[in-house]
Amino acid sequence: MRHHFFVTGTDTGVGKTTLSALLCAALDAVYWKPIQTGTLEGTDRATVMRLAGIGTDRTLDEVYKFVPPVSPDLAARSTLGTINHTLLTLAAMHAAELPVHGVVLIGDQNRENRETVERFGHVRVIGEIPRLPNLHRTALMQVFMNHFDRSAFSQ
């Protein structure tokens, strides 16, 4: 059975593209970001291909591309309140009866944040991506092997 994962995050620049590259490398997955903004700065598709070491055969073209580097709905996003944003996102997903496979935390390890997200979000943290000085396929594969519950991806 083939699994599909929807990667979402609480802000711009929080690691969604890095997580996507890690999943593509570790799970031999196909990447698709249907809407890309900020195309003058490059695309997440190109970044995932470079980081995961995959080609165009393992990625799908974006449906919409926009030059300005803004969110598709022009909304502002905040860097504060990550736990709150995560819990609100989880609540909305649960209310919509969408299956939530798990949460991946990105950045410095914080046991209290992990426990809070799991307890109040009614979800498992299935992986953590620490700060990586060098992003490349080998580093991503090592993170998957050392910081992820790999059984969560074989169900």
Q: What's the CATH code of the domain at 93?
A: 3.40.50.300
Q: pTM of the predicted model, to two decimals? A: 0.81
Q: What is the mean predicted confidence (pLDDT) over 20-37? A: 94
Asked about 33 being catalytic, the answer comes back as yes
Spot the catalytic one: 22, 26, 33, 45. 33
pLDDT on residue 70 = 64
Residue pLDDT, tens place only, 85-114: 899 999 999 999 999 999 999 888 889 889
Structure tokens of 44? 């997440």
Task: Kindly state whether residue 137 falls inside one of the protein's structural domains.
Answer: yes
What is the number of domains present in the chain?
Answer: 1
Residue 110 belongs to domain spanning: 16-153
Task: Kindly state whether residue 5 falls inside one of the protein's structural domains.
Answer: no
